[in-house]
Amino acid sequence: MKNIEQALLARSRAYTPYSKFKVGAAILLKDGRYILGANIENASFGLSNCAERSALYALYSQGIPKEDIVSITVIADDEGPVSPCGACRQVMHELMPKDAKVILANTKGDIMETTTDQLLPYAFMFDEVADE
């Protein structure tokens, strides 16, 4: 599956000298392109950035509209499909369209599909942005 291949490629670029826990995220666009993100850590731990946010911030930085997103696939070497942290759930909820798929996977081949609403029920939103 191309989504998994691309998420693994993203994961290979993770910078994780502290946790050693590498995560990759691959956003599939409607035109078939992928935008990749990896977790990037820092000696000042709080500055570390998760793979999901790296990918979404890269997408926005490149001027790609969120309506172009088909899915985000996230992969790590975890027991089950990787579970996005609370901060990433909040960011995915705001920066992805409601109908986009969130595909969670691990390196053993476990995979599940969900949505940003399922991952973050009753999400915090500013009305002006929610109505857009």
What's the min distance (Å) between Cβ of 50 and ligand THU? 3
Backbone angles phi, psi at 111, to 5 degrees: -150, 140
Confirm or reject binding of residue 91 to ligand THU (CB under 6 A).
Answer: no
User: Does the footprint of ligand THU cover residue 48 (CB under 6 A)?
Assistant: yes
Question: Please, which residue, 46 or 63, has the CB nearer to ligand THU?
Answer: 46
Nearest to 4 by CA among 118, 112, 87: 112
User: In the structure, how many helices (H) and strands (E) does the chain have?
Assistant: 5, 5
Residue 51 within binding range of ligand THU, rule CB under 6 A: yes
CB 104 within 8 A of CB 111: yes
Residues at the site binding ligand THU, with contacts judged by CB under 6 A: 16, 19, 21, 23, 39, 41, 48, 50-52, 74, 82, 84-85, 88
